[in-house]
């Protein structure tokens, strides 16, 4: 089959058959900040994956430099190979995305020096598991195929999903299923896991899916989507400490953005979106006591929201890319310091 090339020269086959979610919209959101800095612009792609968003940024912003961050060594290697034609305009970083602050502070490459000097013009975080990882059966992210229960985004380190199932006590299993998966039957599922692991340790996703079919009532299975969806989400979040990384990176990005710089966060489930929304509320509010006619020195907000609430994908985007259906997009911009403006 011939490679498919879209109107921006984007090689769909090279991107594992996937068009990045809301590629054009997130580029539009970042454009004012990136174009304003010209050849001083640095954009952080905090969730590099197959490199689709980064490739689009490099094509759209011909003067900008990109730092692509991924904790998955295989994904980073593939993306670096794909983006090699852009030369030193692209720099790959093997790290969880909340490591970007340390990398900018200590990195020796020119792009990190540029970011230290000018701040970053833009940042994108396309949260959750990537389509590429879902498609790699051996990683264990997908519940529709029997595979080893791994789920680590960095397969070289950390606890696996199987180890969570085989070692966590009832309380902790129920907690992560309820908190990270919004699973109504968290306690019942945790009890079933403990009973089954006494017979034999969990090693593959197929056995877990069978357990979930048995534990979740038939009426709920008929109306609530795939019975494994919430448990698999909860395990993945626990294994990869996804919410911890998100909470950590928000203040890091706020600190490292240039004046006028923008950050875009794409969430696919309510836990992520609530964390981003809450942080944005705090970042955009004045701390001046109520009733005063103007902000007191040092109390004016340093950020403004760019999106009105959370933007959703259009019907056309969802039709082209079904993974976009649950996405919620929020963007923020760093404002000038009022004290510096007055000076």
Domains in the chain (CATH in brackets) are 13-126+242-342 (3.40.50.150), 137-240 (1.10.150.170)
Nearest C-alpha neighbor of 124 from the set 185, 46, 195: 46
State whether the Cα torsion 66-67-71-77 is positive or negative.
positive
The whole-model pTM stands at: 0.87
What is the pLDDT tens value at each position of the chain, 343 positions in all? 233 333 333 343 444 446 788 999 999 999 999 999 999 999 999 999 999 999 999 999 999 999 999 999 989 999 999 999 999 999 999 999 999 999 999 999 999 999 999 999 999 999 987 666 555 555 667 777 888 999 998 988 899 999 999 999 999 999 999 999 999 999 999 999 999 999 999 999 999 999 999 998 887 777 767 888 899 999 999 999 999 999 999 999 999 999 999 999 999 999 999 999 999 999 998 777 776 667 666 677 889 999 999 999 999 889 888 888 999 999 999 999 766 554 4
- Region label for 125, one of left (φ > 0), alpha (ψ between -120 and 50) or beta (otherwise): beta
226 is in an annotated binding site: no
Laid out side by side, the sheet with 65-70 consists of 90-94, 65-70, 42-45, 120-126, 257-267, 328-334, 303-305
CA angle 225, 145, 268 (to 5 degrees): 45
Q: Is 52 annotated as a binding residue?
A: yes
3 is in an annotated binding site: no
d(CA 310, CA 308): 6
Task: Determine if residue 97 is labeled as part of a ligand binding site.
Answer: yes
53 marked as binding residue: yes
The answer to whether 11 is annotated as binding is no
């Amino acid at each position: 089959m011939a490679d498919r090339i879209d109107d921006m020269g984007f090689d769909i086959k090279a991107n594992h058959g996937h068009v990045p979610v809301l590629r054009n919209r997130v580029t539009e959101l970042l454009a004012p900040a990136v174009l304003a800095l010209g050849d001083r612009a640095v954009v952080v792609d905090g969730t590099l994956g197959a490199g689709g968003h980064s490739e689009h940024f490099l094509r759209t912003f011909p003067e900008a430099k990109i730092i692509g961050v991924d904790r998955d060594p295989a994904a980073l290697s593939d993306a670096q190979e794909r983006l090699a034609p852009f030369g030193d305009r692209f720099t790959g970083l093997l790290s969880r995305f909340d490591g970007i602050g340390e990398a900018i502070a200590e990195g020796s490459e020119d792009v990190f020096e540029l970011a230290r000097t000018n701040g970053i013009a833009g940042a994108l975080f396309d949260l959750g598991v990537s389509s590429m990882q879902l498609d790699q059966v051996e990683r264990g992210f997908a519940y529709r195929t029997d595979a080893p229960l791994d789920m680590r985004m960095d397969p070289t380190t950390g606890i696996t999903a199987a180890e969570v199932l085989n070692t966590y006590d009832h309380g902790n299993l129920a907690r992560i299923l309820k908190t990270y998966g919004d699973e109504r039957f968290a306690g019942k599922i945790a009890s079933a896991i403990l009973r089954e692991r006494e017979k034999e340790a969990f090693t593959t996703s197929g056995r877990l899916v069978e357990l979930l079919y048995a534990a979740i009532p038939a009426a709920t299975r008929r109306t609530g989507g795939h019975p494994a969806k919430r448990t698999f989400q909860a395990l993945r979040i626990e294994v990869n400490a996804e919410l911890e990384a998100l909470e950590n990176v928000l203040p890091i990005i706020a600190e490292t953005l240039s004046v006028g710089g923008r950050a875009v966060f794409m969430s696919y489930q309510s836990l992520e979106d609530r964390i981003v929304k809450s942080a944005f509320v705090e970042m955009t509010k004045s701390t001046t006591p109520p009733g005063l006619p103007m902000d007191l020195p040092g109390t004016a907000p340093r950020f403004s929201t760019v999106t009105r609430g959370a933007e959703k994908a259009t019907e056309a985007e969802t039709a082209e890319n079904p993974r976009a259906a649950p996405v919620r997009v929020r963007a923020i911009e760093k404002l000038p310091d009022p004290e510096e403006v007055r000076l």
